[in-house]
A and B are shown apart, each in its own frame.
Chain A
Amino acid sequence: MALFQRPHAPRRSLPSGHLFIACLLLIALVLSACASSTSGGSSSSGPIRIGFSITETGPQSAPAKFDLQGYQLGVEAINAQGGLLGRKVQLVYYDDQGSASTAVQLYQRLITTDKVDLLVGPYQTDLTSAIAPLVTRYKMAMPAMAANLEPFSGRYPYLVQSITQTPRYMIPVIDLAATKGYKTLALLIQDTAFPRELAQGIKQEAASRGIRVVFEATYPADTNDFTALVLKAGAAKPDMIIGATYLADAEGIIRAARASNVNAKLFAFSIGPVEPEFGSALGDAANGILGTTLWFPTIKTSGNAEFVQKFRARFGRDPDYHAAMAYATMQALAAAVKMAGSLDQTKIRDAYLKLDLQTVAGEFKLNSLGQQLGYQSYVLQWQNGKQELVWPSEVATSPVQLPHPNW
């Protein structure tokens, strides 16, 4: 107000022309400050901006693109329902190429330069762990699709987990095995972070169900020959051979087992069978193998059928579990912001911790550390060259075929 009263103030020695120009300059300054603050975020009238980095290029880009499309569809759904806090929602994202150091720079830029209102996580646990200290320093609430529990161990209170936690990945496989009366287990573990944490979960669940681990071995990620490993596992005569694996090693283990005639009643792998390439690489040998998935198009989670149909219409391909988890992350974000009633990051973080929300990926529910307790996993099996959901039985698309016949 003072600004506009000035011309009426008692005149000193300053000529009126000069004063007028000074006023114009001042107004221009204020206006330009307003304009730059809209483009730089933290405005209360423009769209709410959600920032993240994603691996659009590089070897890890295939699953990350599903994440991106899941986020995009999620935001479109939020806007279709009128946005958040009465404002539209908009994504701001950059390509991190799968590099942790690039991701750190990009989140720094999102927070300090772009001044985004909300954050969601990148693809991969490694990248999440790398940006966790930064996000925590700026006290930005961030749901992340990082399955390992390490980033959610209390050191980074503003991170919350929006994917099934690693130790729970293979619990339903053990559950299935227990109902079949299988008693012994050989465990093959790739020596990297995710499979190691996964194996801990398998062993814990097996112990509680009275299943004995009769053989356990780790192997490096670059292993080509699985003959020796499989022979030793087979020598222990286990009912089950279970691998805490990714794709290439799961294939290697199956090839070696078949070629060395090592048999078990059940073969199951964490990552591997869930990928379509598992079937094309192994052909007939894939049939009967069990795998884990965190989501399936046929499960009866809230709004799932509609999500699958919308995803197909929007992107021209079927969603996978990454896409579903990312979409569900946006559902959780919308619910948390609505519960918080503002963009106050601490309030939003607290809202995430209090949420009990039915999403396309299942029930979103956290413990006080932000670890995901609600999301679960499912068992699929390759049958006649196709993936079928076989466990838990109430969601199965086909009855499970066990025991695995001899090769």
Chain B
Amino acid sequence: MLQLQTYLLLLLTGIMWGGVYLLMAFGLNLIYGVMKVVNLAHGDFIVVAGLLAVTLYGAFQAGPVLAIPLATLLFLLVGLAVYRGLLAHVDTTGSQGELRTLLITFGLSSIISNIALLIWGGQYQSVPFFQSAVRLGPLFLPESLIVSSLVAFVLAFAVQFWLTRTRWGRLVRATAQSELGAASCGLNTGRIRLLTFALGAAMAGAAGALTVVLIPVQAASGGFVTVQAFTLIALGGLGNYLGALLAAILLGVIEVSSSYFLGASAASAMIYLIFILVLIVRPQGLLGHRGRI
């Protein structure tokens, strides 16, 4: 009985960590899905949003309830500025185009993380919110995980709804499926790309301001966050929404359970082992093209 409880707890914790990882990969996935741009500064957006939440807490004892809307708004603006100022000026078509966007966003990542280093220093920072346990019968579940994963799953369904049921969402999907086709139907694809990039950046802002209650961030840890998020969306099939959800839950459950049964060092190996397996067997990702934006 006690064993069963532990297994259930591990499963739930794993699913919830999946939600957290999904939250952190959201913006990256949207931007890639529509624009075929891998935003290497994604992790730095998350980290800076987290550090901003720390500053807000330090100055006003303000929690995620204030930090999330502020970070979302700020990174919406950052997204607009980055697109208008940088990405709109380069030709992103073809294989050369992908390389260019990689270089630009890599440079951006370097600039952002070093500015963050100047402002916040190199120490790991976090804020004390949602720290208690929530009792569910005999099980104790971490409040921070419950909140983060709930937000993640709600956001996942909201974006899904937006993409499939609203006019703007349909325009975004049309651009994602064929930019040329969308343009020839008279859509202003430049504006749609701008909107997408800004939304993706705003999502990173929201994710950062929330997950900082769970994962301490440091000015230089953005690169690692980007890699984690990229692994997740590659596993799910780049730009694939359902795939990312599935991959996130899979990764969370594997991480937590293998950490329990095989030890924590084995857990991180397991994740990349599965990643490599998927790349060999299904290089298009778990769901591949089905369910793509």
Contacts and interface: CB of A to CB of B under 8 A. Distances in A.
A281 B127 contact: yes
Interface in B252-292: 255-257, 259-260, 263-265, 267-268
B218 interface: yes
Interface string B24-53: 000000000000000000000000000000
Nearest to A275: B123
A219 B144 contact: no
B169 interface: no
A227 B144 contact: no
A281 B122 contact: no
Contact of B117 (A59, A191, A231, A259): A59
Contacts of A224: 17, 214-215
Nearest to A246: B124
Interface residues of A, number: 39
Contacts of B131: 255, 258-259, 282-285
A296 B10 CA distance: 41
Interface string B190-218: 00000000000000000000000011101
B265 A220 contact: yes
A252 interface: yes
Given A248-B216, A252-B216, A62 B123 contact: yes
B interface secondary structure, majority: helix
Contact of B13 (A227, A251, A281): A227
Contacts of A61: 117, 121-122
A232 interface: yes
- A218, A219, A255, A259: residue with the most chain B Cβ atoms closer than 10 Å: A259
Interface stretch (B96-104, B135-143, B232-240): B135-143
B175 interface: no
Contacts of A285: 128, 131
Contact of A251 (B126, B142, B219): B126
Contact of A225 (B6, B123, B220, B256): B256
Contacts of A260: 9, 133, 140, 142
Contact of B214 (A58, A218, A223, A255): A255
A255 B219 CA distance: 21
Interface in A243-271: 247-248, 251-252, 255-256, 258-261
B265 A258 contact: no
B122 A255 contact: no
B128 A225 contact: no
A60 B122 contact: yes
A258 B144 contact: no
Contacts of B143: 259
Contacts of B216: 247-248, 251-252, 281
Residue from the set A60, A191, A225, A283 with the largest chain B CB neighbour count within 10 Å = A225
B218 A225 contact: no
A217 interface: yes
Contacts, number: 126
B162 interface: no
B132 interface: yes
A228 interface: yes
Contacts of B168: none
Given A259-B142, A259-B145, A58 B122 contact: yes
Contacts of A5: none
Nearest to B262: A228
A281 B128 contact: yes
Contacts of A57: 117
Contacts of A277: 123-126
B224 interface: yes
A387 to B, nearest CB: 16
A162 B142 CA distance: 43
B25 to A, nearest CB: 14
Contacts of B124: 247-248, 251, 277, 281
Given A217-B264, A247-B123, A283-B128, A407 B133 contact: yes
Q: Pick from A62, A227, A284, A407 the residue with the most CB of B within 10 Å.
A: A227
A222 interface: yes
Interface string A357-369: 0000000000000
Contacts of A59: 117, 122, 218-220
A64 to B, nearest CB: 9
A319 B255 CA distance: 41
Contacts of A252: 215-216
27 contacts: A58-B220, A59-B122, A60-B122, A62-B122, A191-B265, A220-B268, A223-B268, A224-B214, A228-B259, A232-B260, A247-B123, A247-B124, A247-B216, A248-B124, A248-B126, A248-B215, A259-B133, A259-B140, A259-B141, A259-B145, A260-B140, A275-B123, A277-B125, A277-B126, A280-B127, A280-B128, A283-B128
Interface of B: 6, 9-10, 13, 17, 54, 57-58, 117, 121-128, 131-133, 140-145, 214-216, 218-220, 224, 255-257, 259-260, 263-265, 267-268
Interface of A: 57-62, 191, 217-220, 222-225, 227-229, 231-232, 247-248, 251-252, 255-256, 258-261, 275, 277, 280-285, 407
